[in-house]
């Protein structure tokens, strides 16, 4: 990235002219896509086409007459900036590289299909290539070439699931305010689709199991790293894999948020049906029931034939009485108390196990930070704090515990010096409401020399 390049300023220049050239209006954009589709089908063997072909695109897509083509002549010339190249001698057009990348990216996104087996194979290949790299050149090639080559495909699978969810939500919104019976069937299809997406998310999570093995190898590489040029790529790889797992959890949580609303909507839809059935039942009782006299002359309510009479009195059965001394049993209250104690013990054990697990995670993060200080001579904790938030799914409590442990471990430590700059306030992108002073830990010079 070039620091002196004003990206936004360039896009906004001349009343957004550059932006409009990069992203043409929908009709011109569709014309470019039409030409690209013909290009993929092999309609342009020389990879060139004439202006008549562009006019044909307008005619097939929008049915424009010649006068309207004239109106678009000026706009077509705008495509020469980034999309088309015009050969004045031969009077033909060809695609510029930006047009190819622009259309191909849209093509890949829309074509993307769910394939967890392919993701598993990709991750396995990445892991084998990483394990086969034993030199700094080999590792640099893996970080610069192997990993970036597969990142779009891995992200594309998660994007595919999110797009499927959005399509289900759009389908739900389309039917939400309809009153006909077809909405029930449409909603059932949406629920079924969301269940399928959740299963696909589980399959994709399982396919990413190779990531754990890659992270273990990266941990070992980071712990024994002798090449400073690899430190930043290793950190970036950790962040990428953490983001992948985080995005998978986001997909699952989004389904969790949608499904209760679907159940509520089903309840709302079924309530009028239930009320109608209750009303018809009561009307049937009022119309078809009558009072009759029995053999003794008393009036009794006779329900309709298809409704069984109410059983008001049940004869009391004759049960034998067993003395406690003949059949001793434990008191129910004691058994109940025992069950309660067992439940309390299970809850206490689960709480204790969770506390131990979190403490282990804190210890692991503190150990990683100490390794970072050992390798680099110094480390800035706020960037490490951000990495904790990303990988631990924004668990602020855990990140703060790590910060507290780091502060205690490195304060007044004869091997390290810890400095806090209370003039520099650091903010975190994933937690906008959270900020901290800049904290730097350095390895003391005596330890470095030894």
| 186-230 per-position pLDDT tens digit | 667 667 777 777 777 777 677 677 788 888 888 888 888 888 888
Query: Quick check: 407 and 351 in contact, CB under 8 A?
Result: no
Query: DSSP states of 391-431 as a string?
Result: HTTS-HHHHHHHHHHHHHHHTT-TTEEEEEEEEEEEEETTE
Q: Does the structure show a pLDDT above 80 at 131?
A: yes
7-108 has which fold? Arc Repressor Mutant, subunit A (1.10.10)
> In angstroms, rounded to a whole number, what is the distance separating the alpha carbons of residues 189 and 195?
10
Segment among 33-42, 47-56, 163-172 with least mean pLDDT: 163-172
Say how far residue 396 (Cα) sits from the centre of its chain: 20
Q: What is the pLDDT of residue 162?
A: 77
Angle at 71 (CA atoms; ends 70, 76), nearest 5 degrees = 85
Helical (H) or strand (E) element with 93: strand 92-95
Q: Is the pTM of this model over 0.85?
A: no
Segment among 300-309, 335-344, 435-444 with least mean pLDDT: 335-344
Mean pLDDT computed over 287-292: 78
Beta bridge partners of 290: 302
Q: What percent of the chain has pLDDT over 90?
A: 1
Q: How confident is the model over 243-263, as pLDDT tens digits? A: 888 887 787 777 777 667 666
Mean pLDDT computed over 158-186: 67
Q: What is the pLDDT of residue 450?
A: 37
Domain 116-277 has CATH 1.10.8: no
Q: How confident is the model over 41-90, as pLDDT tens digits? A: 888 888 898 888 888 888 888 776 555 656 666 667 778 788 888 888 88
More confident call, 60 vs 112: 60
Q: Does the structure show a pLDDT above 50 at 341?
A: yes
Give which of 366, 364, 369, 388 is closest to 442, Cα–Cα: 369
Q: What is the pLDDT of residue 270?
A: 56
Segment among 59-63, 213-217, 232-236, 349-353 with least mean pLDDT: 349-353
Q: How far is residue 135 from each of residues 130, 142, 150, 226, 353, measured CA to CA in Å?
A: 11, 11, 22, 10, 41
Q: Does the structure show a pLDDT above 60 at 312?
A: no
Mean pLDDT computed over 329-347: 63
Q: What is the pLDDT of residue 333?
A: 55
> In angstroms, rounded to a whole number, what is the distance separating the alpha carbons of residues 335 and 248?
45
Give which of 242, 251, 257 is closest to 368, Cα–Cα: 242
Residues in Cβ contact with 96 at an 8 Å cutoff, skipping those fewer than 6 apart: 82, 83, 84, 85
Q: How confident is the model over 99-110, as pLDDT tens digits? A: 888 888 787 767
Q: What is the pLDDT of residue 448?
A: 40
Q: How confident is the model over 368-420, as pLDDT tens digits? A: 888 888 888 888 888 888 888 888 888 888 888 888 888 888 887 778 888 88
């Amino acid at each position: 990235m070039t620091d002196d390049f004003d990206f936004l300023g360039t896009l906004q220049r001349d009343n957004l002219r550059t932006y409009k050239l990069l992203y043409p209006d929908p009709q011109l954009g569709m014309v470019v896509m039409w030409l690209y589709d013909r290009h993929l089908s092999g309609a342009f063997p020389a990879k060139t086409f004439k202006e008549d072909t562009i006019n044909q695109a307008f005619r097939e897509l929008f049915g424009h007459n010649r006068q309207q083509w004239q109106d678009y002549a000026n706009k077509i010339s705008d495509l020469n900036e980034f999309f088309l190249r015009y050969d004045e001698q031969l009077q033909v057009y060809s695609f510029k590289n930006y047009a190819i990348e622009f259309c191909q990216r849209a093509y890949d996104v829309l074509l993307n299909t769910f394939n967890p087996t392919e993701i598993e194979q990709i991750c396995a290949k990445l892991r084998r290539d990483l394990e086969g790299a034993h030199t700094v050149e080999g590792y640099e090639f893996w970080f610069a070439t192997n990993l970036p080559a597969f990142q779009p495909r891995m992200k594309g699978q998660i994007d595919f699931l999110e797009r499927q969810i959005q399509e289900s939500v759009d389908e739900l919104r389309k039917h939400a305010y309809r009153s006909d019976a077809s909405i029930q069937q449409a909603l059932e299809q949406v629920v079924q689709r969301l269940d399928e997406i959740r299963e696909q998310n589980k399959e994709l999570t399982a396919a990413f199991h190779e990531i754990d093995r890659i992270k273990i190898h990266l941990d070992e590489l980071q712990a024994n790293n002798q090449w400073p040029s690899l430190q930043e790529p290793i950190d970036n790889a950790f962040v990428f894999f953490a983001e992948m797992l985080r995005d998978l959890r986001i997909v699952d949580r989004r389904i969790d948020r949608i499904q209760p609303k679907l159940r509520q909507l089903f309840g709302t839809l079924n309530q009028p049906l239930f009320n109608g059935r209750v009303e018809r039942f009561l009307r049937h009782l009022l119309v078809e029931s009558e009072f009759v006299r029995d053999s003794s002359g008393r009036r009794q309510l006779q329900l309709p034939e298809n409704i069984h009479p109410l059983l008001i009195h049940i004869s009391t059965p004759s049960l034998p009485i067993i003395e406690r001394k003949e059949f001793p049993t434990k008191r129910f209250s004691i058994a109940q108390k025992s069950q309660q104690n067992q439940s309390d013990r299970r809850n206490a054990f689960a709480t204790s196990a969770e506390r131990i697990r979190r403490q282990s995670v804190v210890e692991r993060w503190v150990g990683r930070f100490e390794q970072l200080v050992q390798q680099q001579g110094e480390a800035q904790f706020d960037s490490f704090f951000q990495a904790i938030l990303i990988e631990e799914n924004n668990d602020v409590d855990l990140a703060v515990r790590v910060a507290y442990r780091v502060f205690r471990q490195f304060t007044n430590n004869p091997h390290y010096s810890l400095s806090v700059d209370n003039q520099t306030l650091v903010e975190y992108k994933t937690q906008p409401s959270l900020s901290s002073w800049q904290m730097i830990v350095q390895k003391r010079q005596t330890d470095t020399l030894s």
